Structures are given as structure tokens and as C-alpha cells.
Amino acid sequence: MLVMTHAALATVEELFEYKAQGFELPPFAGYTADQWGVKAHNRPWIAAVGAWENGQRVIEVGGAYSRLPEWLGDQHEVEPWVGDDFGLAAGEREQWSRWGDPHELPGQHPSVTYVFKPFGAFSPQYPDRHFDRIFSVSTLEHISPHARLDVLRDINRCTAPGGRQLHTIDVPTALWKALAAGAAERAGLRRLLAQRYPNGIAGWLDLFRRSGVKIATRPPSSLRLLDRQTLVESPDVWFRFYPPAEQPKAYAPTASLLVVIEDR
């Protein structure tokens, strides 16, 4: 049985702790050593809570150019995979290939197994009950809402007995939505809230539940999205890396929902 054992929002204090510890990955597309914001929290969080062991098969869903699987392989002697079609299914291949030819990655990083298929298609290239650790970093929210349930069910299919999933999901922090969501949660209207705001906390937990995951933890209140201690994407990261990069754009900060799912 897959059980959600942890759901929380990333905090500024946690980010400061990870930065003080000196966690650093080799530079890659969209990541530099001086980066702040939610991903600078999410990757060391993944590394800290994964309970990594020698020989585990681990995969980053939507990892693209990420160096985290390779880093985990070097640090913990796990077998690293990346599963990403680089926007092909969504018709966004040009955007996701702007940093180079993805098909050159296996030659550049031979310790990593790359599968150029999206989750949600139930491809045999992602074997049943195969991965001891499956994780994603600011990825699931970019999946089309109509495809998300199949993606989660496919991820569940691939989780090995005793395995663990780790997901960090960007959630909006708009004031009026957070206030409305907080009021609905207090009134016990989470199911209605999930239907109205599928990108919010209640929406994601309901989606995991419908995928077959038992929710065994108390979710954070949506009012926490307004707490200054809750980490949101920083303006410099938004300006430098969000398309169109280094150009003026509307700033819509997102918080980071942290989810741990265990097979029990």
C-alpha cells in the first residue's frame, strides 16, 4: 500500500540551513551554484530525506538536464535514471532543447540511464515495481491537468515494494485564493476546494488520493501560504530563469509543497 506520510510547505529556515551546509551540484541548465529560491531548497531536501542505500534504482521524473541523479549515484552508489521526453508530448520540445541536444546526455553522463518517454503512457521502458526511489522537482505542476492522474498512477505502478516517492510541487500563493482556501479548509470543504482549485494544496492531495495513495498525514493549511516564513520563488530566480529569461514579466511567486509517499 502506498501511503503519504509527509506533506508540508518548504520554509525559508530550511533553505538557509541547506545553503549553510554547502550543498552544491555541478552547473547545468537552469541551475547555478549561487541560485536561491525553491529549487535551491528542493534538491538538498530530496538528498536529505531519501534514505539512500547502495544499489537502489532511483529516477527523477522530468529531470531533463538535472545532475541530481548522477550526484546521488556518486554519493550513495545508487543506480540513477532520468525519465523525461523533453516536452515532446506537450509540443514544447524546442523550449526544452534550447540548452543542447538531449540525446547527447547519455554520452555525457554514462552512469545515468535516460528514458525519453513521459510518465503517464505506462511505457514498458519504465518497468513495473522497479524503482526504489522516484522523485520530482517542480515538475508535476507543469503537466496538463487532464494528464496528471495517469502520470501519478504510472509513477505508483513503478514504485518498488518498500520504495519511496519524493515530490516537490509548486503551488500558487495568490492572496485571495489562499484566504478562500483557508476558509474552505476550516469549514471541512476540502473536496469542493480540490475541484475549484486543482493547483492548490487540497487539489494535489485529492489527486494523489485518487491515484491510489492513502493520505496518512495532516496537510498544511493554505493560510500558511501567506506566512513570511514559507519559502516562495525569489524575484531574481523568476527574472533570470523563467521564460522569457532575463526579460520583464509578471511576478507570480509560488510556494513549494513537499510530499513523501512510502510503500508499506
Domains and their CATH numbers in the chain: 2-263 (3.40.50.150)
- How far apart (Å, rounded) are the C-alpha atoms in residues 202 and 127? 30
- How far apart (Å, rounded) are the C-alpha atoms in residues 234 and 253? 7
Burial class for 113, CB neighbours closer than 10 Å (0-12, 13-18, 19+): middle
pLDDT at 93: 64
- How far apart (Å, rounded) are the C-alpha atoms in residues 17 and 115? 34
Instruction: Name all contacts of 151-154 with Cβ < 8 Å and 24+ positions apart.
Output: 151/61, 151/118, 151/119, 151/120, 152/207, 152/208, 152/211, 152/213, 153/211, 153/212, 154/119, 154/120, 154/121, 154/122, 154/126
Rg of the chain in Å (alpha carbons): 18
Q: Is the dihedral of CA 116, 45, 168, 123 positive or negative?
A: positive
pLDDT digits (tens, 9 = 90+) for 101-156: 888 999 999 999 999 999 999 999 999 999 999 999 999 999 999 999 999 999 99
Say if residue 102 is preceded by a cis peptide, omega within 30 of 0.
no
pLDDT one digit per residue (tens) for the chain, 264 residues = 999 999 999 999 999 999 999 999 988 876 777 778 899 999 999 999 999 999 999 999 998 899 999 999 999 999 999 999 887 766 666 666 667 788 899 999 999 999 999 999 999 999 999 999 999 999 999 999 999 999 999 999 999 999 999 999 999 998 778 777 777 777 777 777 778 888 899 999 999 999 999 999 999 999 999 999 999 999 988 888 787 888 999 998 999 999 999 999
Give φ, ψ of 214 to 5 degrees.
-80, 130
Distance, first Cα to last Cα, the chain: 5
pLDDT at 52: 98
Burial 51-85 (b: 16+ CB within 10 A, else e): ebeeebbbbbbbbbbbbbbbbbbeebebbbbbbbb
pLDDT at 78: 98
* Length in residues, the chain: 264
pLDDT at 35: 79
Give φ, ψ of 132 to 5 degrees.
-75, -30
pLDDT at 34: 74
pLDDT at 91: 63
At which residue does the C-alpha cell 540525446 appear? 103
Query: What pTM value is reported for the model?
Result: 0.94
